[in-house]
Amino acid sequence: MTYSNTTTVKIAYNADFGGFALSDAALAMAQALSGNPDWHYGNVPRHDRVLVTVIETLGLDNAGGTYSELCLREVPRGARYRIEDYDGSERTE
């Protein structure tokens, strides 16, 4: 999956302590969408289209793992971003 001709992309991050994780349902959906049974959120960039699509489809509450509070942030296409982590709680810059 690729982004269409948009001027922004979305990035996923975890806004609460506990670490970034997907629910079992979200992981299964991502593997199905990607066509790769080995697809894992730890191996893709946070702007990965499959990752963002799964979060948007399932919703922020259902896509996250047990201790995750997933969020999406839009950034300009091609912009550099950084995700800072403190005890699993992340913020974007």
Cβ-Cβ contacts under 8 Å for 10 (sequence gap 6 or more): 47, 52, 56, 72, 73, 74, 75
pLDDT, average across residues 80-90:
89
**Residue 87 pLDDT more than 90?**
no
pLDDT, average across residues 24-49:
97
**Residue 55 pLDDT more than 70?**
yes
**Residue 2 pLDDT more than 50?**
no
pLDDT, average across residues 69-86:
93
- pLDDT, residue 4, reads 56
DSSP 22: B
- pLDDT, residue 14, reads 94
**Domain boundaries in the chain?**
8-92
